[in-house]
Amino acid sequence: MTDIPAIAEIAHARGALVIDDNTWATALFHRSLDQGVDISMQAATKYIGGHSDIMFGTISANAKAWPLLAEGIRLLGVCAGPDDVFLALRGTRTLSVRLAQHYRSGLEMARWLATRPEVLEVWHPALESHPGHAIWKRDFTGATGLFSIVLKPVPQKAVDALLDTVKLFGMAFRGAASKASSSRSTAIPTAPRPNGRPAGRRCGSTSAWRMSTTSRPISIAVLRR
């Protein structure tokens, strides 16, 4: 978990703006602007839309940053289609109910996975064992259904077989559904670290850095049940 208030304090002291992506928590579970963020964005296609039927995004800003955004919007002619706006508004009517269930279902599954002998780590900030749990508890009022696990070292073909045979989860590409993906197909290798450790891997669906090149991180998104 990122300590956003600490980052905002340092950035503002040097005259920089702070921008965050609040898609995972939404404004319902994380009030970005109240914690020092100047510009907050969301991929509303996901939780706000909630039905995999729109391509939509939101951007919010404080009084300091909004004039810059407004001018950019005016010059670029950015606007959302009326049908997408209608569907996004539809999604906001049920957002609190859906996210509450996401929170319960995701945490229940995370706790179960933490007991499995095949699992090395569970990356869910609402778990007390997560290294960022204290920050999450301080800054967030809930969690959604997207989290990751790291399996104990196994051949990639074993991970492929697992993903090929799951019945309740589909393969993760995009949209609102219960799904899973291996970091091998969505990972972006990073540059080697100065301390000589292996390069991390970043899974595009979770924005979580993978520090192990032998274990197999699996990203999991839990649809409400």
What integer is the mean pLDDT of 137-143? 97
Q: Which amino acid is at 184?
A: R
pLDDT, one tens digit per residue, over 147-156 is 998 888 888 8
Number of neighbouring beta carbons within 10 Å of residue 151: 20
The topology under which CATH files domain 96-221 is Aspartate Aminotransferase, domain 1 (3.90.1150)
pLDDT of residue 166: 80
pLDDT of residue 191: 42
Q: What percent of the chain has pLDDT over 90?
A: 58
Q: Which residue has the higher pLDDT, 128 or 222?
A: 128
pLDDT, one tens digit per residue, over 197-219 is 444 333 333 333 232 223 445 56
Is the domain 4-82 a CATH 3.40.640.10 member? yes
In the predicted model, is pLDDT for residue 173 greater than 90? Answer: no
Sign of CA dihedral 73, 76, 80, 81: positive
pLDDT, one tens digit per residue, over 67-87 is 999 999 899 988 888 999 999
Q: What is the 3-state secondary structure (H, E, C) of 173-220?
A: CCCCCCEEEEHHHHEEECCCCCCCCCCCEEECCCCEEECCCCCEEEEE
The tokens describing 121, both together, are 């780590």
In the predicted model, is pLDDT for residue 132 greater than 90? Answer: yes
Write down the domain spans for the chain: 4-82, 96-221
- The strand order across the sheet containing 119-123 reads 119-123, 146-151, 216-221, 179-182, 170-171
Residue 151: strand, helix, or coil = strand
| CB-neighbour burial class of residue 102 (10 A; exposed 0-12, middle 13-18, buried 19+) | buried
Look at the chain and count its residues: 225
Tracing tokens 């010059």 back to the chain, one arrives at 75
Pick from 4-8, 30-34, 191-195: least confident: 191-195
In the chain, what is the straight-line distance between the N-terminal and C-terminal CA atoms, in Å? 26
pLDDT band at 193 (very low <50, low <70, confident <90, very high): very low
